Structure 1
Amino acid sequence: MSRPLSVVVLAAGMGTRMKSTQPKVLHKVAGKPMVNHVIDAARFLHAEQTLIVVGPDMAALEKAVAPHPTFEQTDRLGTAHAVLAARNALENATGDVLVLYGDSPLFTPATLERLIAARNEGPHAVAVLGFTPDDPAGYGRLATDPFTGELQAIIEDKECTDAERRIGFCNSGVMCFAAEGMVDLLDAINNKNAKGEYYLTDAVAVARDQGRTCVAVEVAEEETLGVNSRAQLAIAEQLMQSRLRDAAMRNGATLVDPGSVFLCADSDIGQDVVIEPNVVFGPGVKIGDNVTIKAFSHLEGCTIASHADIGPYARLRPGADIGKGAKVGNFVEIKKATLETGAKVNHLSYIGDARIGAKANIGAGTITCNYDGFKKYQTDIGAGAFIGSNTALVAPVTVGDGAFVGAGSTLSGDVAADALVLVRAERTEKPGWAARFRDKMRALTGKN
């Protein structure tokens, strides 16, 4: 931005309709707390300071928004009162002050930039984001001058005359102020209303009484959604998922059935990636180019290099690092493990706390026994090694490059490079035993 920008995020509400013990703004949309979506928008705008207004006893929220400073609104006396909780940081601010809400995660940086630009064009004392819903009932109305387009008033729904109630242009709550004189402007707001609260919307009337102008900027309704209930949280999730899917496809990924793929706000997806139906991304997933993610896979906290093939029904947990051209097949779980270039874990296996060397092959049903109830231990499989099916690798254990481990082995010691190891009980066969057993049990039980 050409002028300094301060952002105030109002996040003091508990959100009683959420029926939750945690602050409303910490509920997640696309894997990220709502308030952090708002903070990220401020970061995109290169705000010089982002100030978070919290309520009492919100240590978890203060931790989530760190390192941004927090200001406590001890008594909840309205939105203007909430902004003034950050008075000490705003009194000497210059440029613009943008007031956002921690429970409104869908405003885009582009929209906020338009609002700031409109305030500066006047320059106006206040700029307000408005929208035109299908049904304006319940929303504050934005009355504008039909000739100049200037914002004349924000009228609360309950206070509207019949003529004013027919206005379709409504208040989103997001406002931009000229920083110079903003604190004085808010100090001039009174609480002479039914609730006895200090409303930020009254800043428009105060500014106009002082002979200053205000302006409104229209935005699409979907951006304005404020989350006050679990149902609205689900709507916000749907809208955010639609954005994320569209962005992934615009950037060169194929989503075979977009509506069944769930992404995270930080999902990093390369070009020519194919994502099949019913794939779920948790936080912290990074995917290189030309990767295929097959159906019903679940990924979180993992990195997948180019040309890898994942799934179907694969689970990649935090710390999974899948190398170039590696294969993770059906019903395979990888946790805190590296698969190097071309390694294969194709079927029904668990690989945790491990390194699987380049072009190693892990047979079906293999597990790394990495936990003894107290500590985790490492398994190291060398390049080109072959691990037979139904092998249990009791960590800590190292299998050298090119070594073979026979199927059905329970391996608790190291294997030298290019060696073959078989760990099986000696076979015992007793001819006719099964027939004699059945005859005995029939005699005892009388059952055939």
Structure 2
Amino acid sequence: MSERVCAVIPAAGRGTRLGSGIPKIMIEIAGGVTVWHLLYRRLRPRSEHVHVVVSPEGEAPFRDLAAEEIASGAVSVSVQDEPTGMGGAIFGAAPHWEPYDTILVVWGDQANLSPATVRRVVAAHRTSGLTVPLVPMADPYVEYEVAGSALVRVRQSREGDECRPGGLSDVGVFCLGTDGLRKEWTRYLRDAAPGTVTGEVNFLPFLPYLSQVAGRPLTVVPVDDPDEARGINTQADLDFARQAYLRGTEPGGR
């Protein structure tokens, strides 16, 4: 691996919509295999290190779950004390990923992410740019407007934006060079508007800023299977991930 890659998983969400009472990354898929185990299998071959950001109440149980990987030094953990959004989780953990060339951000509920997508993203990435795998969706929850090597805008349904049918959506994976990245986030925060619905300063609008203001060219990695974009937000999503795993058809097999 020519560039040193640190995978970062923001997993401080409480998963309240699922009523599970535990962080989504710790939800069991089947036979003792959790979302964490699936993500780690996909990320570890392409990452020198994996860092996980958890909530205060999630720290102890996650450390128990990942005890072997933490003891080996392959995984580290930090705590996001207040749920201020994904950007706060990612950049609050900056001391853990800044020693690496590249940060590979992966949402903590992406149980359907394929190993092939992770491999292709890391292979396509250049440390001076921004690399995002995108897939057309019939009814996207998030939509990316792309013009050449520029990311023009990210529309978010959760903030009241109207996403267009057939638009490009992410699969919860974002690859960025670490050089100057925290400084760019600090600059972005000076004028960033909170989301109209959540009131949070979201991470996704930071990506067009990086592309247009910071001059980081966008590399899009096309994804064919829209199921990769399906995180675990509802019971139906969880049932889907479990059924795919039990059939042996979850991305990349077992």
TM-score bucket of the superposed structures, by smaller chain: 0.7 to 0.9
- Superposed CA deviations along residues 287-306 of structure 1, whole A, max 9, x for unmatched, are xxxxxxxxxxxxxxxxxxxx
Q: Distance in 2 between matches of 1:245 and 1:156?
A: 27
- Superposed CA deviations along residues 342-383 of structure 1, whole A, max 9, x for unmatched, are xxxxxxxxxxxxxxxxxxxxxxxxxxxxxxxxxxxxxxxxxx
User: What is the CA-CA distance between 1:166 and the residue it aligns to?
Assistant: 5.1
2:144 is aligned to 142
- Superposed CA deviations along residues 52-98 of structure 1, whole A, max 9, x for unmatched, are 0000122111221231211101111111111012111123322x210
1:110 is aligned to 116
Structure 2 unaligned segments of length 5 or more: list them.
none
The letter of the residue matching 2:226 is E
1:26 is aligned to 26
User: What is the CA-CA distance between 1:243 and the residue it aligns to?
Assistant: 3.4
1:212 partnered with 2:216: yes
Q: Distance in 1 between matches of 2:43 and 2:251?
A: 22
* TM-score (norm. length: structure 2): 0.84
1:303-382 paired onto structure 2 within 5 Å: none
**Secondary structure of 1:53's aligned partner:** strand
Task: Give the number of the structure with larger relative contact order, counting CA–CA contacts within 8 Å between residues 6 or more apart.
Answer: 2
1:253 is aligned to none
Identical residues among aligned pairs (%): 25
Q: Distance in 1 between matches of 2:252 and 2:90?
A: 34
User: What is the CA-CA distance between 1:227 and the residue it aligns to?
Assistant: 0.6
* Pick aligned residue for 2:248 from 237, 243, 247: 243
2:43 is aligned to 42
The letter of the residue matching 2:187 is A
User: What is the CA-CA distance between 1:149 and the residue it aligns to?
Assistant: 5.1
RMSD of aligned alpha carbons: 2.4
2:113, 2:171 within 8 Å by CA — same for their partners in 1? no
Structure number with higher helix proportion:
2
The letter of the residue matching 1:38 is L
1:234-313 paired onto structure 2 within 5 Å: 234-244=239-249, 265=254
Q: Distance in 2 between matches of 1:105 and 1:166?
A: 24
1:170 is aligned to 169
1:181 is aligned to 180
2:11, 2:55 within 8 Å by CA — same for their partners in 1? yes
1:150, 1:216 within 8 Å by CA — same for their partners in 2? no
**Secondary structure of 1:175's aligned partner:** strand
2:112, 2:251 within 8 Å by CA — same for their partners in 1? no
User: What is the CA-CA distance between 1:172 and the residue it aligns to?
Assistant: 2.7
2:169, 2:229 within 8 Å by CA — same for their partners in 1? no
User: What is the CA-CA distance between 1:22 and the residue it aligns to?
Assistant: 2.3
* Pick aligned residue for 2:232 from 215, 227, 234: 227
1:12 is aligned to 12
The letter of the residue matching 1:129 is P
**Secondary structure of 1:165's aligned partner:** coil
Q: Distance in 2 between matches of 1:170 and 1:22?
A: 27
Q: Distance in 2 between matches of 1:65 and 1:218?
A: 32
**Secondary structure of 1:212's aligned partner:** coil
Larger Cα Rg: Structure 1 or Structure 2? 1
The letter of the residue matching 1:227 is I
The letter of the residue matching 1:223 is E
* Pick aligned residue for 1:196 from 194, 199, 216: 199
Structure 1 unaligned segments of length 5 or more: list them.
249-264, 266-448
1:312 is aligned to none
* TM-score (norm. length: structure 1): 0.49
2:87 is aligned to 80
